[in-house]
Amino acid sequence: GTTLGREARAIGGALAAGDLEVARERMPHPVGRDPEALDGPAMARAVVESVAENTSDAVVGALVWGAVAGVPGLLGFRAVNTLDAMVGHRSPRYRRYGWASARLDDLAGWPGARLTAALAAVAGAPDGDPRGAVRAWRADAGKHPSPNAGPVEAAFAGALGVRLGGTLSYGGRVEHRPVLNGGGRPVEVADIDRAVRLSRRVTWLTLAACVGGRILTDTVKRRTK
């Protein structure tokens, strides 16, 4: 989570300074898109979307599985997530080979994605819109091609009051994704820092929930012995 925030803010700083080349050089760190195909506003949108999705994949999901199954659960989730990022539907070459990785990642990421979306609504204040997060989640999550990225990105879009989705490019392949929170405004550079702050609040709430849940579970087990 710390690395995600640092990289996102570094790109935001370059965009704020008008240095698009530096921003493009750093884009591959947190964002898996073709930076050469993106202008300043598109890069800002891509970073906000990446912060949202990686909050679920790299932070919340890992904490959830760590709470459920300890260190093996945490490491297993990260292994599944990494394998999906490497070969899961990334290119025509790996489309069939990575099918199992992609589906397993969808299954493993399901609880973390819903928790991330719910906590994004809870943590929307003080500089966001909690109700907007819920509205966007309910209205637009199902439009996204990913069953897990949809709820997360829609909730972040609603909480931040911005519009996410649209045209993007992966590995030379152009995709036209549905717009999330269509009533929101276009993403601005300043929204990157807001997304990072929201991500951190979600992280702390997740940590508290997972620690509390693990303590409660262990207490109940001891009392029933």
pLDDT tens string 113-144: 999 999 999 998 888 899 999 999 999 999 99
* pLDDT number for residue 91: 58
| Chain segment 5-25, per-residue pLDDT in tens | 999 999 999 999 999 999 999
- Say if pTM beats, i.e. exceeds, 0.75: yes
Ranges under pLDDT 70 in the chain = 88-97, 169-174
Beta bridge partners of 168: 175
Sole residue written with tokens 């029933």: 224
- Mapped onto helix, strand or coil, the DSSP state of residue 175 is strand
* pLDDT number for residue 32: 73
Closest-CA residue to 191 (of 60, 12, 63, 42): 12
Report whether 171 contacts 91 (CB < 8 A): yes
